[in-house]
Amino acid sequence: MTAEKKIRVLVAKPGLDSHDRGAKVVARAFRDAGMEVIYTGLRQTPEQIVETALQEDVDAIGLSILSGAHTILFPRIMELAKKKKLDDVLVFAGGIIPEEDVPALKKIGIAEVFGPGTPTDTLVKFVRENVWKKK
């Protein structure tokens, strides 16, 4: 009897954001969609995020950021992810990220960036359709 394979998603908040209302809404949506969501709370460093993703063997990482520090933090996160060979993990982002920054983020491996007000159904669909693609 084989157990059903669950999608494991890490919802992470890098940097110094002071609230996580949005991230929690997203986390709950993933849970309601049948996924296992690892939520690590506020003020995560890139090192903490990548190490958590490794230990928890997640299929996807959702980065939530409001502070504007994504231009510095995201490249650091992707660099560490590459170092630890997390190449088959789907990385996406959301929060306050200006449109003009998106192409550069996609170039470093962030699969998609979702703006505020994106319906959670869109996020769930995106994850379902794109996880395990690289495997």
Partner 1 sequence: MPLSQIEQLIKGVLKGNRKSIAKTISLIENDMPEAQKVVSLLYPHTGKAHIIGVTGPLGSGKSTLIEKIAKEIRKRKKTVGIVAVDPTSPFSGGAFLGDRVRMQDLSTDEGVFIRSMATRGSMGGIAKATKDAVNVLDASGKDVIIVETVGAGQTEVDVIKIAQTVVVVLAPGLGDEIQAIKAGIMEIGNIFVVNKADLENVDKAVGAIEAMLEMNTQKKDWKPSVVKTIATRGEGIVNLVEEISQHKAYLDSGAIHVRSRQRIEIELEEAVKRRLTEVILDNLKRREEFHELVDKILAKKTDPYSAAEVLLEGKLKKYKGN
Minimum Å gap between C-beta 91 and partner 1 is: 17
Does residue 120 belong to the site contacting partner 1 (CB under 8 A)? no
Within residues 7-26, the interface with partner 1 by CB under 8 A covers none
Does residue 3 belong to the site contacting partner 1 (CB under 8 A)? yes
Three-state secondary-structure class, residue 87: coil
Give the single-character DSSP code of 15. Answer: S
Minimum Å gap between C-beta 55 and partner 1 is: 5
Residue window 25-54: x/- pattern of binding to partner 1, with contact defined by CB under 8 A: --xx-xxxxxxxxxxxx-xxx-xx--xx-x
Task: Give the CA distances from residue 95 to residues 44, 50, 51, 65, 98, in Å, rounded to whole numbers and listed in that order.
Answer: 15, 19, 22, 5, 9
Largest CA distance in the chain: 49
Minimum Å gap between C-beta 36 and partner 1 is: 5
* H-only helix segments in 1-135: 21-32, 46-55, 70-83, 102-107, 120-130
| Nearest CB to partner 1, comparing residues 6 and 106 | 6
Say how many residues touch partner 1, by CB under 8 A.
33
Tokens of 91: 């990385």
Minimum Å gap between C-beta 39 and partner 1 is: 5
d(CA 112, CA 93): 6
Site residues, partner 1 (CB under 8 A): 1-6, 27-28, 30-41, 43-45, 47-48, 51-52, 54-57, 84-85
